[in-house]
Structures are given as structure tokens and as C-alpha cells.
Amino acid sequence: MEYQESHSTRAKTKANRQFCIWSLQLVGRSTISIYDLISIAKVCIIDVIIIIIIITIIIIIIIIIIIIIIIIIIIIIIIIIIIIIIIIIIIKITTTITIIILLLILITNFISTIIIITILLITIMSTIIIILYHCNLFKVQCFYAINNIVFVATIIIIIIIIIIIIIIIIIIIIIIIIIIGSSSIAIIFITDKKEKKKKKKKKKKKKKKKKKKKKKKKKKKKKKNKKKKKTNNNSSSSSYRQCNCAILQLDLRQNKTKLDGNEISVARSPINMCVQFH
């Protein structure tokens, strides 16, 4: 019993020094009892659980940061979509639909990259847990193994953070390109509208000019018709006068004739009468 207790105390001291498996010195001196293995295993399991908790906390913090970044990006995208819609509502609905589809594609790609990153984190965690679980099966010092695992995990986490930052920068660049493209499209549409308005104004002016010309032509025609009517009236009045002249010529054989109800004495020659009448 004393021998077992001494060996157990040695095992405890070595376990306190964060050794998962017995050292070669202990193996060389004497055999290890079951109590020593149990005490070493207890210490190793506690270390493993602590490391797993630390790594899970780190991963949870990273996931929370990723979620916050996603929320911020989604809010920025929504604001950009609202701005684009406000710009393009005046122009056309089809352009807004295409831009919204592009933004949805970008969001889906971003979410898929985040899912891939989380899967990588889960695989890394599972490998770390497996290594820590099988740590006591190999003749290796658990302390150094744990340090190596933590170092590798930190490097992997740093690489993942760098990848996330690169993805965010790429998404921001794409959003800026979309904003510039939408603004250029809006400018093109606005210029097209202005040109169309100018063309419409020119057409209206041409139509007005044509209408004015037609009105002028109609007025000229009316004036000509009036002149023709006057000339016709004059010709008819002259024929009437000729008729009167003829009547007077006939009546000239009698030395008296009537004009407007009054009897007028005229000369005997009919030619003189016509000249005097005109």
C-alpha cells in the first residue's frame, strides 16, 4: 500500500506538471499501477475539458462576430437597395429588379462562404477533440501536445479571420461597383429622357409651324375666294348695267325713260345715253 501511495503521489506530482502519460524515467524505474493511470487520466481529462471549453468559447465569439458582420452588411445592402430604388423608381422598374437580383446573389454567396467557414471550424474542433482524446494513448507529453494544438488552432483562427476580412472587402468593392453602375445607368436613362423630351419639343414646334403655315394658306385661299367673289359680283353688276343700258337704248326711241321711278328726258342717240349712264 505504501508503495502504491508513493507511486500515486509521484504520478500526481507529474500530473500537476501537466503530463498526461508517464515519463520514461518512471517507466524505467518501476511499473505503474492502475491508481497511477487513473490519477494521470483524471488530470489529463481536466486539461482536455478546459482546452475544449476555451476553444468553444473562441469559436462562439468568432461566430458572434461573423453574425454581427453579416447583420451590418445586410443593413448596408438594404440601405443601398433603398437608395438605388429611390434613384431608379423615376426611371424604370426592370433595372431595379436586375439590381435586386444581383444583390441577392451576392448575399447568397456571402452566406455560403460563412457556412463553409463554420464547417471548417467544426472540423478543426473535431480534430482537436480527437487528438486530445487520444492524447493518453501515445507516449507523448500532453502539455506539449496541447500547446501545439492551441498554437495550430490560433493560427487557423487567424487565417479564418483574414479570409473573412478579405471576403468583406470584396463584397464592399462589389457593392461600390453596383452603386457606380446603377448611378451610371440612372444618368444614362435621365439623359435619354431629356433627349426624348427635347425631341418631343422639336416635333411639337414643327407641328405648330406646320399648323401656322396651313392657317396662313387657308387665310390666303379665303382672301382669294373673297376677291374672286367680288370680281364676279362686279361682273354681274356690269352686265346688269349693260342690260339697263340696253333697256334704256330701247326706250330712247321714246324721248322719255324711267330711272329709279323718276322720268328722265335723255338725248335721242343711244350711244350717248350709254356713255352717260356708265
Q: Work out the pLDDT band at 250, boundaries 50, 70, 90.
A: very low
pLDDT of residue 68: 80
Residue ranges in the chain assigned as alpha helix (H): 2-16, 24-29, 34-89, 93-133, 142-251, 270-277
216 in any annotated domain: no
User: How far, in Å, CA of 88 to CA of 98, rounded?
Assistant: 11
262/27: higher pLDDT: 262
* Span 244-253, average pLDDT: 46
220 in any annotated domain: no
Our count of domains for the chain comes to 1
For cell 460563412, what's the residue? 114
The secondary structure of 58-100 as a DSSP string is: HHHHHHHHHHHHHHHHHHHHHHHHHHHHHHHHTT-HHHHHHHH
Q: How far is CA 161 from CA 155, 187, 263, in A?
A: 10, 39, 132
Amino acid identity at 271:
I
Q: pLDDT tens-digit profile of 73-109?
A: 777 777 777 776 776 666 666 666 666 777 777 777 6
pTM over 0.75: no
53 in any annotated domain: yes
User: How far, in Å, CA of 14 to CA of 225, rounded?
Assistant: 131
Q: Work out the pLDDT band at 246, boundaries 50, 70, 90.
A: very low
pLDDT of residue 124: 67
252 in any annotated domain: no
Amino acid identity at 71:
I
Q: Is 33 exposed, middle or buried (0-12, 13-18, 19+ CB in 10 A)?
A: middle
258 in any annotated domain: no
32 in any annotated domain: no
Q: How far is CA 51 from CA 109, 134, 146, 255, in A?
A: 33, 14, 8, 156
Q: Is the dihedral of CA 45, 51, 54, 55 positive or negative?
A: negative
User: How far, in Å, CA of 222 to CA of 220, rounded?
Assistant: 5
pLDDT at 127 over 60: yes
- For residue 112, give its domain range: 40-202
270/224: higher pLDDT: 224
